[in-house]
Amino acid sequence: MSASDPTPAGGANPLAEGPADPEHDPTAAYALERGYVESLTARLVATSGETVQVFSPLNGAPLAHVPQSSETDVAEAFARARRAQAAWAQTSLDHRAAMLLRLHDLVLDRQEEIIDLIVWESGKARKHAFDEPLHIALTARYYGRTAHQHLDTKRKLGIVPGLTRVEVNQVPKGVVGIISPWNYPFTMALCDGLPALLAGNAVVAKPDAQTMLSALLAAQLLEEAGFPKDLWQVVAGAGSEVGPQIIGRADYICFTGSTATGKLVARGCADRLIGASLELGGKNPLLVLRDADLEKAAEGAVRASFSNAGQLCVSMERLFVADQVYDRFVERFVARTEAMTLGATLDWGNDMGSLISEAQLRTVTAHVDDAVAKGARVLAGGRARPDLGPYFYEPTILEGVTPDMTCFGNETFGPVVSLYRFHDEADAVSRANEGDYGLNGSIYSQDGARARAIARHVKCGTVNINEAFGATFASVDSPMGGMRQSGQGRRQGSEGVLRYTESQSVATQRLIRFAPMLGMSDETYGKVMTANLRLMKKLGRA
């Protein structure tokens, strides 16, 4: 996503032309204390003299002028990170883990500040903003408690029992480049970097331009938790300019964003033969089976489809419902959707907030208008709500969506979901697997064993049973990521930390060598080794 427009929608630039009366015009004065903003933006490695002004999607109020990084700044960020990483890699694993556990407490203690900033920058409902410090606390505690499980040196089988000792070390890659999106600006800025730090790496991060302040607050909290300041560098700028500079210098890349951009990132990493983990787009399916608890399914479908106004990589955009329960489910789903409260406030109590930008609003509007023009029916929502805020759009349910409609196979990334009937469950799975994406899926059924069996046939990296996405995403011991064009690599669990390491095998040999000994010929050596292989198999050894 690009930076916010230089002026709020429909309004003049209050800094350039002079503010109106802030009592009546929310765009007339800064929403955040200037000193607070400057304490955050001072963390940027940015000396170009250029800035980008950003505004809140809640009401168009200006938030900050964000300094922009030059190519020289990116190079300097990597130089600082490499110096810090050399020292950090020598610290004990227990020391690094203790920092994560301190961060856990700090994030929970400062959650109100964190949530306020997230809401100002993203426009999301407060209850959805709460998910972000919650997820970071879970991630920090998990890796702080399981550090040795993932990263301790491990013994492996040697070729000669008792005489060959093999150990595998996990060696940090060096400096990790993290390019994070705007939709979960605190979580996505930080969660992938925590295991990188635990493994002994440094990080150079480029958050999205629209939500830079939340990411800078995350960096500030790392330092307050005890991590060395230079270990986590933050740069700012257009992704098309700064992204290639990061890819050209990093030892590993972690990217979350669109599939189209992810392919460009993958090509850049391939040219340098460095690894990358990519969490990309999705057109995620939810299946309501004939034996589902319909009240639970309807409640879950609302969260699945409209959390964060649908701007969630793992949210559902396709609902497949069994014929036997279709009408009863739709009645409940529509009623719950129409009862949702929308609002542009920092307070608790809203069920859904704003879209992030004018560009996102245009995409959502275009998808719905195209579907309606081609015959789809709107069961709920279907219109923008400028009376609430510049980028609000109602939670929308569509029926009768066909393959010729843009929203059928393309990710909307907004509060729009399409309903489809099915009779045969195998057909439902086949339709759920259509297209190129495979990020997240959901199945509602009162028969857990049957639902889990069906899940094995759903081509998604995560599948939730009787839940939208929270069960997998919040269970940080399990890997999370996409199949097919929804990405490669995994965050969370062992895979989430081991991606930032190189596996190094160290073998110590005693008494014998792998060559003829004691005057034996090459032929005799070959026969002895062959006999040894047969013996090992007979003894059941791997």
Active site residues per annotation: 279, 313
Rg from Cα positions in the chain: 26
Sequential DSSP letters for 178-234: EE--SSSTTHHHHTTHHHHHHTT-EEEEE--GGGHHHHHHHHHHHHHTT--GGGEEE
Rounded Cα–Cα distance for residues 432 and 243 (Å):
33
Q: How far is CA 422 from the centre of its chain?
A: 31
Distances (CA, A) of 112 to 78, 127, 134, 336: 32, 11, 12, 28
Rounded Cα–Cα distance for residues 408 and 528 (Å):
65
Contact between residue 169 and residue 504 where contact means Cβ atoms under 8 Å apart: yes
Contact between residue 336 and residue 346 where contact means Cβ atoms under 8 Å apart: no
169, 174, 5, 191: which is closest to 78 by C-alpha? 174
For tokens 């607050």, the residue is 217
The C-alpha angle with vertex 310 and arms to 306 and 311, in degrees rounded to 5, equals 145
Q: At what angle do helices 259-272 and 239-247 cross, to 10 degrees?
A: 30
Structure tokens belonging to residue 201: 């790496």
